[in-house]
Structure 1
């Protein structure tokens, strides 16, 4: 798979705009009418904010088609993925779209145990009945890399979306002791297509290191913009950009394994 950089596509293109009637300028209206209009505008804006947190139905339908051939295995990182984390929100989408998925559920998220975490990942993957796409975040990405280097993952794994890999050699000092067992970072090439998604202001991973990891892993690098660690603290909702990255990965796997693009022909734009 050739190295490349995929430019991020703004989630804003999926945002709903306010009703045109609410955008008109009001001139010479009595104070109470202006107040009522202001309340309506605020209500309309709040509605749009709430709707922006929902994944558009057309995206769910598209993903249902794009991902039908795969089982998705979600691999959270240090401290796990809370209910508002994009990984957890994606599970809701996958369930609604009747997409096969599972999750590597570790026993203790706050104190990662290297050996038991790898065994849990391998056990979860081996239960899958379809080709597997791994969706890793943070320390979960390092877990995948180590499992590959040790030859523990079955051939059923056909691709990986690696979001904000935790640089366990250069991350925040106050957390490095918790992830010391995962150091050094495994650098063996991945035997399947992969995307490494990096943020411009990630305290766990510089862009330089993200690009370096992508090269070693034989993966493509994706610029996600300024999203922090793209985790529990980033407040990304369903993270529509990430869904597009996942869709592109699925398309790449389909092309490389069959030589043919999926019948729906288009990736999410």
Structure 2
């Protein structure tokens, strides 16, 4: 969709360039998806030159501008759960080569699979402010509701840090949709903790991500054309039981 109120594109852009009416631009697949008359300038992050993946001893740092294709190529073979979440996009290679990890988190839609991955892997979001400051936010706390997150005006998501320990843990994945190639209506990831306990990450079915030991107490179901709350609740409980049987047997 054309953003016909945009009068300038700043490329490359840095946190200090932000002013009211600006929007950070990554791949743009979410940004250009609907009218945004409040936006007058785009600040291009893709020209910033951030390496897509940076490996450290205990974690891998995924740049916000890392594309889904780069994430799959860099981590998918070693960590199958990464590839599962990449394929949850059900998108063409064109989208895989444009859509970014950061854009998916910042769109903060319930069905965002990069949200699912970041939360399930106990990731940490690195947030940069327009004044040059930086703060870290647990991925589980980054999305606060449908289309809402913790970013303040001018802040941007710089990277997501995924611990190697959680990436290497035993996991199980379940995804449900009303249609074979439809948007995720329920997405659960189970992970075995170091103490042998099971953690369940619930996304797509709920308005924000939840990390729980069991799903009995959840009551925050999404209600839209992709599935009713009752159906999402039923499928969440079914998948949780399957994951528990798979990982705890």
TM superposition score category, shorter chain reference: under 0.3
The normalised TM-score by structure 1 is 0.26
Structure ranking higher on relative contact order (CA contacts 8 Å, 6+ apart): 1
Q: TM-score, normalised by structure 2?
A: 0.28
Structure with the larger helix share: 1
The structure with the largest alpha-carbon Rg is 1
Higher strand share: 2
